[in-house]
Amino acid sequence: MLLAAVLLLFALVVYITYAVNLLNFPFDYDQGEGFELVDTILFSQWQTPYRNTEIYPFYASNYPPLYHILAAPFVWFFGDAYWYGRLLSFLSTLVTAAAIAYVVHRETQHRWIALFSGLAFLSSNTVYHIGALFRQHISMVMFETLAIVLLAYAFPKQHKRHIALGLLLLVAAGYTKQLAAITAIAVMIWLLLRNPRRGFLWTIAFGVVGSAIFLLLNMATNGEWWRQTIVANVGGINPLQVFDLFLLWLRLHGFLIVLALLMVLYEFYIDRISLFSLWFVTAALLGGIGSGTWGGGDSYFATSIAAMCILSGIFAGRTLQQKWSFPQNHPFFRRILQHRTRYIVSLQRVCWVVIPILYIGYGIATFKMPTYGIVFEQIATVFNLQPNVRGNFYDSATYAVPGYANIGYLTTQADIDAGYRIVELIQNMDAPVLSEEAGFVLAAGREVITNPTQLLNLWRAGQFEGDALIGMIERREFGLIILRAQFYPTPILEAIGQHYERTETIAMNHFEYLILRPKQ
């Protein structure tokens, strides 16, 4: 138990180190953070980011508003900055971990396992990656988890206020990110299974509230809400990416997935199906399939990881505390129960070894850390850990799987200096600048033009023509164009290639930023 605690607490130290590092980094770390900040700035100015992308500055967002609304007050006091969005995300992971630990302790009264369950969530490579970013996904997981915990205990006892609060939290999750629809599906099915009449009434109430907000947003944006957040997000699925990410999910979390599945089987065959089990199965299957979409990835497993930590903790805690109950007349257990004392004592002895080993295995499977700096360098030397991803960083998952976020390493002062070098180029330019990342333009005090990934979403959905933007490129009205991943629609990239040429390349955060100027 102590060794498992050391591994999981060390993972927390690495996570905090990563979060602090990002809080001090003033530019995009993950592609798209800058546009999350732009959305936040617009809401702080009582404007919406759901706009017509055919009109200058061709900007729009494909994400719901709640996360940005929560961060908007920080803009009033601190201006344009990344740290407060990243801090909100980091705190969201801590709240989620606390909720997981609460459920496990309530169900088992086992403090060690409750602690392990919360720490296991924070130790996951997926949660580590997105937990400190200025992105809304992990806040959605927090709202989902809180909603599930409230509903799981309130609905059977018909505590109406808690049920209403749980459903409102579920609405909040949906208006943080659309992917929360998966959790909503699991909740609605469970409500109907548990009590069809009351479940149906609560489902109707939930649908009315969610639909009313949706219609108000659509009317307030002249239909752009529907076009930007729904139509633009309909895309195909890459089966190979789904398969590879499922395998990675199993490889990283398999030790606890086994316990979670045992808990699901126990409820399915012996006890009553809990909301936690239905949530886990639904989130794992549908979230895993969704991970193969454009813009998906391993983050789509984050919800199932929260559910996994709850179920595995309940199974482990009940086993160690001998809190299992079996029906006396069950055909499978009738013979076992005849020798109850002997079997239980033997099982208890085995589990006191096996369960800590499973948590130790999980800690090793999800291990990641910098290989330089105080303490980390000494640990890497002792255990002969060699950096296997960008920079001096070890990640047990590596970056070999398509869709796995290629982040997690620490930024340096050289990265910050390179970012400000790009900012200086923008400041020295009188003409507008088209940048694939918004952070440089914001730091230079210029207007952000377009959101490339959203333009690509719309273009793939047949919702973006781009004549006005292409016209500006052909007339060479942009003094600079800054590219990194080249996520613009193909016609935009073709126009850039015809009328602009690369004059400089600046490396920052292990990426190459291409500086393009008009052709002479």
The 10s digit of each residue's pLDDT in 139-158 is: 999 999 999 999 999 999 99
Task: Give residue 361's pLDDT band: very low, low, confident or very high (50, 70, 90).
Answer: very high
Q: What pTM value is reported for the model? A: 0.95
Reading the block at residue 292, the tokens are 């193969």
460: buried, middle or exposed (CB in 10 Å: 19+, 13-18, 0-12)? middle
Q: Mark out the alpha helices in 175-325 (DSSP H runs).
A: 181-194, 196-220, 224-229, 239-269, 275-290, 302-321
> Could you give phi then psi for residue 166, rounded to 5 degrees?
-60, -40
Residue 379 predicted with pLDDT over 80: yes
Euclidean distance between CA atoms 171 and 428, whole angstroms: 46
- Residue 21 pLDDT: 97
The count of residues in the chain is: 520
Q: Which two tokens stand for residue 266?
A: 């126990």
Residue 332's pLDDT band (boundaries 50, 70, 90)?
A: low
Average pLDDT on 327-348 reads 63
Answer yes or no: is pLDDT of 6 > 70.
yes
Residue 119: its pLDDT value, please? 98
How far CA 235 is from CA of 94, 228, 238, 460, 490, in Å, comes to 33, 13, 10, 8, 17
* Residue 295 or 92, more confident: 92
Q: Can you tell me whether residue 516 is helix, strand or coil?
A: strand
| pLDDT for the residue numbered 349 | 79
pLDDT at 445 > cutoff 70: yes
Average pLDDT estimate for 282-287: 97
User: Residue 457 pLDDT > 60, yes or no?
Assistant: yes
Please give the pLDDT value at position 88: 98
Predicted pLDDT at 46: 96
- What is the rounded average pLDDT for all residues in the chain? 94
Query: pLDDT class for 229, splitting at 50, 70, 90?
Result: very high
d(CA 366, CA 121): 10
Confidence at 330, pLDDT banded by 50, 70, 90: low
Choose among 400, 361, 263, 240: nearest CA to 319: 263
3-state SS, residue 208: helix
347: pLDDT confidence band, cut at 50, 70 and 90?
confident
Instruction: Label residue 346 exposed, middle or buried (CB < 10 Å: 0-12, 13-18, 19+).
Output: exposed
Q: At 464, is the pLDDT very low, low, confident or very high (cuts 50, 70, 90)?
A: very high
Distance CA 7, CA 111 (A): 17
Looking at the predicted structure, is the pLDDT value of residue 168 above 90?
yes
Helix (H, G, I), strand (E, B) or coil at 236: coil
3-state secondary structure of 508: strand
Residue type, 63: Y
